[in-house]
Amino acid sequence: MLSAPDGRVVVTTDLLIEGRHFRRDWSSGYDIGRKAAAQNLSDITAMGAVPTGIVVGLGLPSDAALTWLDDLTDGFRDECDLVGASVAGGDITRCDLVVIGVTALGDLGGRAPVTRSGARPGDLVAVAGRLGHAAAGLALLREGRDGPAELIEAHRRPAPPYACGIEAATFGATSMLDVSDGLLQDLGHVAKASGVALVLDPEAFVIPPPIADAARQLGADPLEWVLSGGEDHALAATFPVHARLSPAWTVVGHVIEGEGVQVKGVSLVRGGWDHFHE
């Protein structure tokens, strides 16, 4: 039983399947536990709520060792500890692959929820947290590379900017979500829900040296990773033009009348992760 002091509960759920969302030969049980919890806790903070707990549904094959399961649950616990949440319970069954279903709950603390539908023409578009790191790390792993290590680690274990969710709500964010499927694709949800267009400035995105290094190794465009790569669980939000933002937030564009997401002077082949075509 979880208390709900606000009288409202924010809830989200996500499903991770071995071979599609993670590989046991690439990530430890601990990393997978941290990742599974993080992507749900981030969704809660993206509504301006405080995570209170998670419940976990777990399918395990017969070759999953007890020590691996201990590591997985340690990962759940330690990621929840970062936001003061707890693992409230769940269920377990036998399965051919590792399947993890996490449901997270949160409390708004009396604040209005920040949804995807409040962006208005004239608003600023800003992001907090890492972009492109997990996508670059996945590309490196697929090519059998072992570095830059921080990018591979970013794929294994995201680092959502949890504190920025409530911060954005107090700054007057008009819309917000976490970046799970790629910035362009996820901002497309904001554009559609709000009935507006979002224009991004590619020069506002600084390419970190590790991503630039990985792009040189693989002959890739680093901006593609930043704009279209998922699983970093950064936060993207829109704010009134005169909002005073902390240094954790970087303004990367603005909202206009219209529809969809535009990037000034850039033509991109894809907009992000598609669960049914990848």
Homologous superfamily of 10-107 = PurM-like, N-terminal domain (3.30.1330.10)
State which CATH number among 3.90.650.10, 3.40.190.10, 3.30.70.1140, 3.40.50.920 fits the domain covering 124-263. Answer: 3.90.650.10
pLDDT digits (tens, 9 = 90+) for 148-192: 999 999 999 999 999 999 999 999 999 999 999 999 999 999 999
Structural domain boundaries in the chain: 10-107, 124-263
pLDDT band at 276 (very low <50, low <70, confident <90, very high): very low
The CA distance from 160 to 49, in Å, is: 14
pLDDT digits (tens, 9 = 90+) for 28-67: 999 999 999 999 999 999 999 999 999 999 999 999 999 9
Percent of the chain with pLDDT over 90: 92
Is 273 marked within a binding site?
yes
Is 221 marked within a binding site?
no
pLDDT digits (tens, 9 = 90+) for 122-145: 999 999 999 999 999 999 999 999
Is 21 marked within a binding site?
yes
Is 111 marked within a binding site?
no
pLDDT digits (tens, 9 = 90+) for 251-263: 999 999 999 999 9
Is 132 marked within a binding site?
no
Is 213 marked within a binding site?
no
What is the average pLDDT value for the chain, to the nearest integer? 94
Is 254 marked within a binding site?
no
The mean pLDDT value for 74-95 works out to 96
Is 181 marked within a binding site?
yes
Residue 274 has pLDDT above 50, yes or no: no
Residue with tokens 């497309």: 188
Is 194 marked within a binding site?
no
pTM over 0.85: yes
